[in-house]
């Protein structure tokens, strides 16, 4: 009999190591698709006894409008998630304000023509809409997936930058989803727009499969060089998480038993602690990236690993990493 994902994750059960620690989950998704569903009920089951006070929803091509101008269709995702956020604010999901911040998608290659799309997002997500994510993921290998099939060098293109310039004047942030070897392009963008907050998702997109398999030490050095360069840009902050994605090459999803928090913390330490070292706690925030990272470990085990990683940090530093940075960057007001 084939074991399903819930059964597999249930082979390792841990209680929360610190049920009093307030957490803002800085990055997760929600969708309801014909072949896959991850909605607030699923997220709340995963959260369990972890004290998640608020969350940030990040675009995942979900709930788009089916009609109207193509460039306006992603606004449907903001409308879909705003409804969830309003219910969460009313207490429907207990003390967790799901989607207290919403990051949507707009095609920034439209240049100045993206402005009506941004305005529509802001109107649809009034009080909740915080920024845009436009993936720039690209790799030369056809074996490496590229979300939204972006071309190489997207962040350097004049048309993209014309659209990007529309974010700052509206107080919107930009979530960057790319691969580790593209971080220098992001640094160039950050220097060109020093007044726009840029959020590096998933510590810069490590890859450990296909042509990158069995080259972890070499790829780590390249990744770290990118992190060090980006850390010199004051307007860049980092989401600490994402190693549960199968493309990172750790292979946890293929094992008969998932990892526990001790093993996870040890594997994550060289990556996550380096980010915190170079960016500082004020420019780092922990993320779940669920349900994507759910392929490799459970929600509680993941947060326990983060707590183990930060055992040597002060209570004030933990509060910033687990909660305050996300609220500040995404302008979230918990009530």
Tokens 């290998």 map to which residue? 141
Q: Where are the alpha helices (DSSP H) in the chain?
A: 5-9, 40-47, 75-89, 115-124, 158-168, 183-192, 216-230, 261-279, 299-309, 315-319, 325-329
DSSP-derived letter for residue 290 is B
Query: To the nearest whole number, what is the mean pLDDT of the chain?
Result: 97
The pLDDT tens digits for 91-133 are 999 999 999 999 999 999 999 999 999 999 999 999 999 999 9
pLDDT at site 131 = 98
Kindly tell me if the per-residue pLDDT of 79 is higher than 70.
yes
Residue 213 has a CB neighbour count (10 Å cut-off) of 13
Residues belonging to the chain: 335
* Confidence class for position 185, pLDDT limits 50, 70, 90: very high
Q: What is the average per-residue pLDDT within 289-299?
A: 98
pLDDT at site 2 = 60
Kindly tell me if the per-residue pLDDT of 317 is higher than 50.
yes
* Confidence class for position 1, pLDDT limits 50, 70, 90: very low
From 328, 307, 154, 195, select the one nearest 240 (Cα to Cα). Answer: 307
Residue 53 belongs to a domain: yes
Could you tell me the two tokens for 241? 């998480």
CATH of the domain at 36: 3.20.20.140
- If one counts the domains in the chain, the total is 1
Per the confidence metrics, is the pTM higher than 0.95?
Answer: yes
291: domain range? 5-10+20-329
Spatial separation of the C-alpha atoms in residues 5 and 92, rounded to whole Å = 27
Residue 334 belongs to a domain: no
* Confidence class for position 88, pLDDT limits 50, 70, 90: very high
Residue 335 belongs to a domain: no
Beta strand 36-38 pairing with 31-33: antiparallel
The pLDDT tens digits for 6-22 are 999 999 999 999 999 99
The pLDDT tens digits for 199-245 are 999 999 999 999 999 999 999 999 999 999 999 999 999 999 999 99
Q: Which residues neighbour 221 within 8 Å (Cβ) at sequence distance 6 or greater?
A: none
Beta strand 52-58 pairing with 36-38: unpaired
Residue 320 belongs to a domain: yes
From 238, 218, 302, 300, select the one nearest 268 (Cα to Cα). Answer: 302
């Amino acid at each position: 009999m084939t074991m399903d994902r819930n059964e597999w994750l249930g082979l390792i059960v841990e209680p929360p190591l610190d049920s009093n620690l307030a957490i803002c989950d800085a990055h997760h998704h929600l969708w309801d698709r014909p072949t896959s569903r991850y909605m607030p009920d699923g997220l709340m089951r995963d959260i369990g006894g972890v004290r998640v006070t608020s969350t940030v929803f990040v675009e995942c091509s979900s709930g788009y409008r089916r009609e109207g101008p193509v460039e306006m269709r992603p606004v449907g995702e903001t409308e879909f998630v705003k409804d969830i956020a309003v219910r969460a604010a009313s207490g429907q999901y207990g003390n967790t304000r799901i989607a207290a911040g919403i990051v949507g998608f707009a095609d920034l290659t439209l240049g100045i023509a993206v402005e009506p799309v941004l305005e529509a997002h802001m109107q649809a997500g009034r009080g909740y809409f915080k920024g845009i994510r436009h993936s720039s993921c690209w790799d030369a290998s056809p074996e490496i997936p590229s979300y939204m099939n972006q071309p190489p060098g997207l962040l350097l293109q004049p048309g993209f930058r014309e659209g990007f310039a529309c974010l700052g004047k509206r107080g919107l942030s930009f979530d960057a989803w790319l691969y580790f070897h593209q971080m220098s392009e992001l640094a160039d963008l950050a220097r060109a727009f020093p007044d726009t907050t840029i959020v590096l998702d998933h510590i810069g997109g490590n890859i450990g499969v296909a042509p990158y398999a069995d080259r972890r030490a070499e790829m780590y050095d390249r990744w770290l060089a990118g992190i060090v360069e980006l850390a010199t840009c004051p307007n860049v902050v980092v989401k600490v998480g994402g190693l549960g994605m199968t493309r990172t090459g750790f292979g946890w999803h293929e094992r008969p038993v998932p990892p526990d928090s001790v093993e996870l913390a040890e594997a994550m330490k060289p990556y996550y602690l380096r980010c915190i070292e170079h960016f500082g706690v004020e420019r780092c925030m922990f993320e779940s990236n669920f349900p994507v990272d759910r392929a490799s470990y459970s929600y509680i085990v993941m947060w326990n690993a983060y707590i183990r990683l930060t055992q040597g940090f002060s209570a004030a530093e933990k509060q910033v990493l687990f909660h305050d940075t996300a609220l500040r960057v995404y302008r979230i007001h918990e009530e």
